Structures are given as structure tokens and as C-alpha cells.
Chain A
């Protein structure tokens, strides 16, 4: 950490250089914390930092003000080195009201920066948060943390007192005060936010002007107020060169489909029923009709998947998206796509369950549902993105595999990936593998269930092709001819055929990349949104000199062909998951290895710290 002295308006204030910082903005649902966090993220991205974010908001749309369950927060970690997670412990907490303090203070590091809006710490809010006395009056708080009590509400009103807005409108701008102040603390440029305000409120000049003034007031407050003796800088990270943008998981899923539509030259029909946290995929796609994306907001989850099966029958790319409860409703229809051997893609943005569970929180507990959650033997391909940006490639890959193998493909994302964002290196779309769909048009020798020798896929025929009229359906059919068949041997054959077809997808899986030694004491195996947390933990253990390696599975069915071999190269295997042990069960069953789980199901990402500890524990155990 180096220290320099900057002269700001003649007042010298120390600038400390940090490798990374973890900040959380927390307040009432109505305090605009998501927006504040997103804007701070953009400022940090423009500063060239690597970033990982964690938005966290209540399931209630307008939770009662001041309550503990109404607290909304946005956390991010930004750094001058690779940032794998939104961070476990906070360097800085902004608590806009007592409820936010109560919920989040435990995550702040001792000695961390604690910034509070004193105006919100009145009797009513203290009561609602369950504080018998004002915690800000307790000297212990200031001893334990670097506490900054700022009357943001008064300072906000003061900054815009001459503007023709009502009190409520004025009060609503105070999150920009907090943003301005924290931007000063971490020497972020305000430009990206000023641009954003200009664009966003171009039709409301009065609000635009107020936000700008309050933002600058917050920034100036940091500069001039006596209480902030120093501020910080986090240098640009050493990231691969290129053009970057911020990417959230759900947008990446949607854009991956757009890329697939363009490359395949086929229309995409996306059928979905609104459900948290998947709805934003539907909303994003609905904006891009120019890509021949046709979105159906269906009457229910079953209609959503049924419509995309109909679309696939018609020769379009059929995609549906939902979360766990909706996927449960789609099970029967997925079975139809399995037996009709039609290419569809199913996005499952996992959330806490069972039942309605924790709609806005993350979980990884739908792996078994994706693998087995249907009647009878209905194998499907299952793949999972590792990061928000990876969702782009996974969505594209899902379409490629589905159309190449004529098989349903499941994509297991989760609430953390869906809403979280990262700086994303924009790819050259020409480097994506082709999606080369050949519809059968030749009637000579045609049968609906003829098999391609390499992929075992059956021909895809667009209705309208003369001479190829045929019927398919949910009844068991004879292989090749497709005629209804109740023959016992044929059924056994078809069960194996459908399984083998899915197994053949293994030939598409690249060699598994191993982060660490190719053989050693411990292998950590992960999948999905825990990638960042596991990577940070493994690299920390490696830095300690431990013999630890990591692999992260993007293909969960079929599993990578080299996986069995890799697993046997390590003495121990640890599988961290946000479920009660699903992948670990698969690995034990498939490979007869003594893999051990690390499982916490709190609706939150796994803290890297805990994975690190469990690595050490497992290494120490005999």
C-alpha cells in the first residue's frame, strides 16, 4: 500500500492505494440502493478495475419503509487484480437507515468505514429496526469502526433548496449524495454518472439538475469536510486488453440467444411466464425484435414450454426460461421434447426453494431436477455458466447443442449470476462456432427417426416441405420409421438410444482446464455461480503453498470425458455447492470416488473464506 499526498482545493488529503475494496450500499427499498450500486460499479469499471457485484433485494415490491425485511443492498468488490467474488467482509458500509445498519453491520470488518445518514436515525426508524436506543450514540461503535455520521438528508435539501421540487422529490435524491461521497472516498470520476443522469432524465430537467447538484454536493462534502482525513485509489486491474462492457447474467443469456439467432439465421421463439429471477430475460429479448426474436408471454409455465415445443416443430429455435417452481411445472412437456427429439433450450435461473422459497435469493439446488425431474427415463443435456458473462457463451452453446443433437438442453443459471455483473471482454462474434442447421427436404428415403451416425440425431423437417409429411408425438415410436410401437424390445432400444444420444454430446466438450497442479492433495470441483468464490479460495490456498487444484464443470450432463481420470489424480475431492450435496452425489455415483461436499443453503453466494477454511480442514483431516 503506497501513500501519496494529493492537494485538493488547497487542502491536502492523503490518498492511499488499495489492491481491492468491498463496499455495500444498504438502505430502505425506496432509497435507491440498487441504482447507487450500479452507478458506482460503472464508475469503477471505467476506472479499469475488475469487479464483481451482488445485488440483494427483498421479494416484496414495496416493503414497508424502515423494516428489517425491507432492506435492500448492493455490494461490489473492485480491484487492481482479478476479482472473483463480490467479497465476503466489507471495507465500507453505507447504512442509510437503522434497519440497514442492523442487518448489515455484522459483515463490516473491524476498523472498516461506516457511513450513516443520521437523519434516518429517528425514534420511528429505530423502533422499527428494534433498537431500544440510538446505536450511533454508543461510543463502542465509533471505536470499533471508522464511523462517519453525516446528515445526508439536510445536506441534500440544502444543496437544492432553490429548485422547484417538492420535499419528497428532493428527499429522493439523497442516494446521489451518498454516491458522490463514496465516489470521492474511492477517487472515482463522476463523469459516467453525470452522463447517465443526463440521459436518464433528459425529459425531466428539474430532476436531472437536482441529481447532478446533489451528486456533486456529496463529492464536495468528502473533499472539504474535516472528518475525512484520507481517501483511496484502486488502480486499474491488469486485464486482457480489449473492449469491455458491464454484463449481467440474464442479459448475457438473452444476448447469447440473439447471437444464436443471427448465426443460425433462424427465428427464436422465447416462451415464458413471468417469474423471479428469470423475467428480465423475457423483457430483454422483447426489446430485440429486429433479431427475429418472438417472445410469447404465455398464460402459464406449461404453455410457455409447450409453445416453444410447437415452435421447434415448426423449425424455429424454441427457448423457455423460468426458475425452479416453473421448471417443476414444465416437466411433462420436457419429456415430450425428449421423445419427440425436438431441439429446445430451457433456462432455469435457480432460486431458493422448495416451493416459493426465497424468490430473490440464489441457490444451486435444481441440479437434480434438471437431471432427473421428469417421469421415466428422460435424459437431457445440462450445462451451467460460471460467471455472468459466461451466460452469453452458455446460451449460444445450448442452441448449438440442441439443434445439432435434436435434444432439449437445460441451462442452470442462478439468481446470483442473473443479477450480478462483471466487466466483460466483448467477444468477436465471428469466433463463435457455427450453428449450422440443415433441414431435411429430400423425400427419398426419409423416415422421421432416421439417425445421423455421428450424433444419433434425427432429421429436422420444417412443415411445408413436400413429400415429408409425417406425424410425431408422445407415444413410444419405432426407431427409424417413427410409427407408434408398443413392442417391448423397441422400447428398451429407444430408452437406450435417447440416453446414448445425450451421451454423445460428450464429444463436444473441450478438455477440462485445471487451475493448479495436475495431481496433488486436493481437488475442488465446482459448477455454476460458485466459480468466483471457489477460485479465490483455491488461489489463496495455493498461495499458502498447499497442493490444491480446481476444476469448474460447465457440462453436467454428459460430464466431461476426462473427468474420471482427473478425479483420480488427487487424494481428496471437495465439492462446494449451495445445496445439500447434489453434484457430489453424482460424482460419487458415477466415479466411485470419496468426494466430500461443502454445503450451505442460505440463499446467498458461498463465502470464499468458508471454502478456504473447508479446504484447509479437509487437507488436515486424515
Chain B
């Protein structure tokens, strides 16, 4: 799906000489210690940051040289679960989720049906009318996931999607992400939760100080993580 060579600036480069290929429909864990560059890598993919060097292909398109005006259309195919949520405090949960649909011009009535459906998926249909600040951290996180999913993206980038969730909810959300993946969406999950990686048998890419130090497919990664624990 994307084909990445890049170095990223900053006084010490946050990412240097990354080569990564994720196939369409794959499920990948992106792991590594805090500050390793996981978020930065995801940002490059949806053009929130520009690569300083190298090529990034998304869906066959080179986004290192993408025109500014084409970025919005790229982003409509990428759902992003932001590490810092980025919810609008003065809008209801439903409005926050519907935001993604407004942008593509979906009529409100149709959009609301879709919103209700994804909120049900993340177990928040009863909170549709609440304001985000009135929700717990885990609930807010699920709103963000719902917003990322509502538009049926072909790629889902999730940055610590289970960071604030208890084990039971974590399982639920991970199952949801897996289900999305099974339907054909490419899913990349950034996390430093080793137990998560151990429990799910998926390809795992490990970043450290901006370098890829390991790239293992499902079974091996799970075994290694289980051993490390």
C-alpha cells in the first residue's frame, strides 16, 4: 500500500531512512518507545507533515510531491485516530463524528444514520448528544475511533487507540479494528502496549529513535513479545 523511504528533519531527525511496505488490507502494529517517531510516521502518511527526503506512495500515488489541493481528497480515504483526540469541545459527540461526513457533503439525514451506526459499534450510542468534555477519556477515545471509521476509509491509522481504555474495552476496540480490517481496510496501529501485540497475531514494526529496528510478521512478533513479558 505504501512504500516508504524517508528522513524527517528536526534537530536530530525524528525518522531516518525508513523503508516500509504495507500491503493493501494488511494489519500492522507500529511499536517502539515514546518519542521513537510513530506519530511522525503516521503524520507523513496523511500529509500532516511533509517528508524532507524520500518518496511515500499511498495507493500508488506519490504523496511526497502531492499538490496542496489534492491533499483533502487523499485524507478522505484515510481515517485517523489521533493520539490527542482532536475533538471539538462545543459540539456533541454526534456532531463531532458527523464532521467527517459534512466535509464530503453527505446530507445530514443520511449522515446521522451512519453516525448512529458507528456510535453503536463503539458502544456510545447513548452518548450521542453529550459534549466530549463530559465523557471519560476512554469514551472520548471511542468517539475519535468512530469519527475515523464513519466515512469507511480504505486506510485506518490509529495512534494509541487503546491508550485510555480498560482491558475489556481494549479487547472490544481491537476486535472492532480487526473487523474493519477483515472488511478490507488497511489498518496501522501505533502502540507501545506490548500485551496488545502479544495477544494479536499481527505484523509488527518496531521503531527506535527514528529507525526501524525490527519488522516481524504475526506469529514471530507475538512470540517475542510474549517472551519479553
- Say if A and B assemble together: no
